[in-house]
Amino acid sequence: MTDMTQRDRTGDPENETVSAPAVGTRKTTKRGGGDPATRGRTTIADGVVEKIAGLAARDVAGVHTMGSGLSRTFGAVRDRVPGGTKAVTRGVKAEVGEVQTALDLEIVVDYGVPIADVARDVRENVVAAVERMTGLEVVEVNIAVSDVKLPEEVEEEVEPRLQ
């Protein structure tokens, strides 16, 4: 690199001059400075975490469905509406902060499965999926078992009324 400071022949520092760098030399600087991963902010909506948690909970053997009886009834109506989508967030409530999240799940389990084991498996699956996909720390997963699906029970079918 070229010395950009030149002194006069007497060596007097008062007569120093600064010259431009030589042609072909260039000082490289990073624009913006710092690590690109720290530039800006990422926010994750509650609904995103709720969808991830809902899908992860439904993947566990022994989980029949999610949500309370009333929410399942409304969900059945919504599912039958043309263009409606299946509510993967039914039975899931998330509170999302900047780096942490807490979840409340309401599940219905199949008859005959050990509820404590199902709850543990749901908790583990939800924590793993949410932390892997969002990078958020899951501080708690509260699980409420609202019902048990008996083998002889027929699914409640709700017929939409057309008027």
Q: What is the 3 state secondary structure string of 9-63?
A: CCCCHHHCEECCCCCCCCCCCCCCCCCHHHCCCCCCCHHHHHHHHHHHHHCCCCE
Residue in 96, 106, 101, 89 with CA at minimum distance from that of residue 143: 106
pLDDT for the residue numbered 159: 44
Question: What CATH number is given to the structural domain containing 106?
Answer: 3.30.70.1350
- Structural domain includes residue 11: no
DSSP 3-state percent helix, strand, coil across the chain (nearest 5): 30, 25, 45
Report the chain's mean pLDDT, rounded to a whole number. Answer: 80
* pLDDT at residue 64, as a whole number: 95
Choose between 34 and 110: higher pLDDT.
Answer: 110
> Are the CB atoms for 28 and 16 separated by under 8 Å?
no
Residue 51 structural domain: 46-148
